[in-house]
Structure 1
Amino acid sequence: MSKKNIGIGAAFPATLCWGVAIVMSKGALNDFPPITLLVFQLLSSVIFLWCVVCSRRRARPGLSDVAKFSWLGLLEPFLTYMLVLTGMTYSGASEASVLQSLESIMIVLIAALLFREYPSGKFVFYSMLVLLGIFIVLGSESYFINKEWLGAALITLGMLAAAFYVVLSSRIAEKYDVFYIVASQQTLALIVALFIFPFEWRGFAVSSITWGAWSLALLSGVIQYALAFVFYMVALRYISAGLAGVYLNFVPLVGIAGAFIFLDEKLSLLQLGGASLIVMALVLISVSAQAKAATYKNLDEPVEKDI
């Protein structure tokens, strides 16, 4: 199996984990305030990851190397999910899933800005269709009346932080053990989250939380932070940040379907049309990226970097 295929094979389960976790997190927000939920999700993820690291017994990087990649945990998951979870208290899982599609566009634009990995004309055109679809889905008056615009703004800022994380992580993913990278990053994120946790903890009644709610919060942490991040770091080891970002395009599809099935969230016909436009444009981006990659003879090289 070529390195490119390994990277693509790892990107798909990462997408599935993130799409499912959006729905799970939205459900957990019915019982937990956002920062509290983030702390418990990170706690379950960090315990899981360090257990895996200890069982693997791989060579550990030095402290200077750990410092080089650990700080990225402040971008994601800390800043990203602090903004996303807070934003989801004002908006639904369907809208949050739609806004996830911004991340792949931001990844390519940031890669172009920082590393001169310039997008093609087709990518720019399809990205404009994605933005149009998002405008249609989020363009109802309720977003201005019910403060849902604030949720959309916070989630968008979260996607910007996530895009910077992906682009910068692509430069270190191939150098170190992915479990150690993710465990170190999320440990730092947990430490920082614990500093702001007491401000939200006041008035939070632990005794009122059911075992089902605790299970949902802790399981979503393992899926959303541990499994999804490890899969994605593996993907970044073998393919470019731009191509890896393409597979994030399927997160909205998973999230919207999950929100409809499990949370009974329904979109209007106009919103469904906008969501369909987004999915169509994202599929075209993926097809275009695959077609471009197929024109190269050596598929083991990360040639997708000029998407």
Structure 2
Amino acid sequence: MQATRNFWYGIGIGVLGVVLFSSKAVMVKLAYKYEVDVISILLLRMLFSFPFYVFIAYIYRNKNKDVLLNKKDYTWVIFFGLVGYYLASYFDFVGLTYIKASLERIILFLYPTIVILLNKLFLKRVITKIQSGAIALTYLGIVIAFWDEVAISGSDTYLGGVFILLSAITYASYLVGSDWLIPKFGVMKFTAYAMIVSCVCVFIHYNIISEINLFSFTWEVYVLGFLIAVFATVIPSFLVSTSIKMINSSNFAIVAGVGPVSTIALAAIFLNERLTLLQLFGALVVILGIVLVSLKKGK
């Protein structure tokens, strides 16, 4: 009885985490309505997130002390922090200037297939027939969704799609490469360290290229920056980790399917975005393919 109750608690926590993660794209699109540029809203996200991750890094600083770490390990943390959170976030925020929030989430949802492809390319891991079919299904769904959107919004949709795909690729690269580092550092410490690196990269990026006064925006921009940092970044990262521990990654794969659906709903409510029936069908095809890939991987 207790196990069943914990399982459903895990499902609920996972759904909440996925929905909060999915709200990021909607809030970024809302921020763009106040004429804020890409690097400024990304900086606000990192500024508000930074203290939380510094605190987490401090709390978990003595975890896994029995594991011997060397300079090479810390070098890889810096590299994956740069690739997995800084570049992935930057590409994502740029892509959102060109395409709908709902389409952004559908493309980002491809990252499990990219992980499998990268594992095949660099680690020579076998891709099963079921995985191959599921991967083909997901990309068919993307083609269906984008075919219709290009006809509606024009060729800028391609550019936005490329940036979001780059975001998915860089994030998948981080997952593949960091797989062997997480046991050394522990999930919490590694994530905190990588996020701190990402924050520093964004701070440097902003100081180099931006001539915009950070204090020149309307109050709505700062509120959205805070909400993106806390409710679409920090909190859901812990909720998802907790959910996976409670229900396992295989079951969480099904829960994660809520992501694109919730983004489509939130975008319709707050951005007045509407997907055509053909795009909705493409989204469902992508979700089905990813769930099949993730369930197989989970097993």
Contact 1:53 1:180 in 2 (8 A): yes
Moved more, 58-67 or 106-115: 58-67
Q: Distance in 2 between matches of 1:230 and 1:195?
A: 27
In structure 2, which of residues 37, 43, 58 is the aligned counterpart of residue 39 of structure 1?
43
User: TM-score scaled by structure 1?
Assistant: 0.78
Moved more, 196-205 or 27-36: 196-205
**Correspondence 1:23 to 2:26:** yes
Letter of the 1:254 partner, please give it: S
Q: Distance in 1 between matches of 2:154 and 2:194?
A: 38
Residues 153-184 of structure 1: per-residue CA shift (max 9 Å, x gap): 11101110010011122222222243322222
Cross-structure match for 1:49: 53
* Residues 214 and 207 (structure 1), Cα distance of their counterparts in 2 relative to 1, 3 Å cut: same
* Residues 199 and 208 (structure 1), Cα distance of their counterparts in 2 relative to 1, 3 Å cut: same
Q: Distance in 1 between matches of 2:14 and 2:184?
A: 18
* Residues 160 and 198 (structure 1), Cα distance of their counterparts in 2 relative to 1, 3 Å cut: same
Contact 1:88 1:151 in 2 (8 A): yes
Residues 213-271 of structure 1: per-residue CA shift (max 9 Å, x gap): 21221221234443444556678999999998786554322222221222221011221
Contact 2:112 2:293 in 1 (8 A): no
In structure 2, which of residues 102, 106, 109 is the aligned counterpart of residue 94 of structure 1?
102
Cross-structure match for 1:297: none
Cross-structure match for 1:58: 62
What SS does structure 2 have at the residue aligned with 1:16? Answer: helix
Cross-structure match for 2:189: 180
Letter of the 2:38 partner, please give it: P
User: Unpaired runs of 5+ in structure 2?
Assistant: none
Contact 1:92 1:265 in 2 (8 A): yes
Contact 2:54 2:196 in 1 (8 A): no
Moved more, 90-99 or 179-188: 179-188
RMSD: 3.4
Contact 1:100 1:159 in 2 (8 A): yes
Equivalenced residue count is 285
**Correspondence 1:197 to 2:206:** yes
What SS does structure 1 have at the residue aligned with 2:216? Answer: helix
Contact 2:48 2:229 in 1 (8 A): yes
What SS does structure 1 have at the residue aligned with 2:274? Answer: coil
Cross-structure match for 2:89: 81
Q: Map 1:243-258; keep pairs closer than 5 Å.
A: 249-258=257-266
Contact 2:81 2:198 in 1 (8 A): yes
Letter of the 1:122 partner, please give it: I
What SS does structure 2 have at the residue aligned with 1:206? Answer: coil
* Residues 243 and 11 (structure 1), Cα distance of their counterparts in 2 relative to 1, 3 Å cut: same
Q: Distance in 2 between matches of 1:193 and 1:16?
A: 25
Q: Map 1:60-209; keep pairs closer than 5 Å.
A: 64=71, 65-140=73-148, 141-142=150-151, 145=154, 147-198=156-207, 201-203=210-212, 206-209=215-218
* Residues 285 and 60 (structure 1), Cα distance of their counterparts in 2 relative to 1, 3 Å cut: closer
What SS does structure 1 have at the residue aligned with 2:182? Answer: coil
User: Unpaired runs of 5+ in structure 1?
Assistant: 294-303
Letter of the 1:42 partner, please give it: M
Q: Distance in 2 between matches of 1:176 and 1:237?
A: 18
Q: Distance in 2 between matches of 1:182 and 1:222?
A: 15
Contact 1:49 1:179 in 2 (8 A): no
Q: Distance in 1 between matches of 2:83 and 2:245?
A: 19
* Residues 169 and 234 (structure 1), Cα distance of their counterparts in 2 relative to 1, 3 Å cut: farther
Cross-structure match for 1:277: 285
User: TM-score scaled by structure 2?
Assistant: 0.80
Letter of the 2:22 partner, please give it: G
- Percent identity reads 22
